[in-house]
């Protein structure tokens, strides 16, 4: 199955979902390199647009994502990865999910913070 990396300038969205709970953990982008590394290693790899680099989820924090299932959408331009979230937190802000805020007239944090990002991501 060939993914269509050309629709979005070489990137495809990747929805990351906890394989056990079904909770959506994050959305990231993959280029062809990250896609191939994910398939090759069984760990989630992405392309960071802000840092302009390839990265394996958890390479700094230890919160690695072990890929359990891979799904491709009908247009071949989006993937869904069902993962085992090692370390219990997918969000770089310290939460289980990047979707930890709910809007219901106001913004409310609806998840518990798992770690302190200032401690985990020490700036050099």
Complete domains list, the chain, with CATH: 12-116 (3.10.20.810)
- What are φ and ψ of residue 66, in 5° steps? -90, 120
Span 50-66, pLDDT tens digits: 999 999 999 989 999 99
Bridge pairing between strands 79-85 and 12-18: parallel
Tell me the pLDDT band of 2, cut-offs 50, 70 and 90.
Answer: confident
Q: CA separation (Å) from 47 to 20, 56, 111?
A: 25, 9, 26
Task: Select the more confidently predicted residue: 121 or 45.
Answer: 45
Query: Is 80 exceeded by the pLDDT of residue 1?
Result: no
């Amino acid at each position: 199955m060939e993914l269509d990396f050309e629709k979005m300038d070489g990137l495809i969205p990747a929805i990351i979902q906890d394989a056990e709970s079904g909770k959506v953990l994050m959305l990231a982008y993959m280029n062809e390199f990250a896609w191939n590394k994910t398939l090759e290693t069984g760990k989630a790899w992405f392309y960071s647009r802000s840092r302009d680099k390839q990265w394996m989820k958890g390479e700094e924090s230890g919160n690695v994502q072990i890929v359990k299932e891979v799904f491709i959408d009908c247009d071949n331009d989006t993937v869904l990865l069902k993962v085992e979230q090692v370390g219990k937190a997918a969000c770089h802000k310290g939460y289980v999910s990047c979707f930890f805020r709910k809007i219901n007239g106001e913004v409310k944090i609806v998840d518990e913070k798992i770690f302190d990002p200032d401690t985990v991501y020490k700036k050099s």
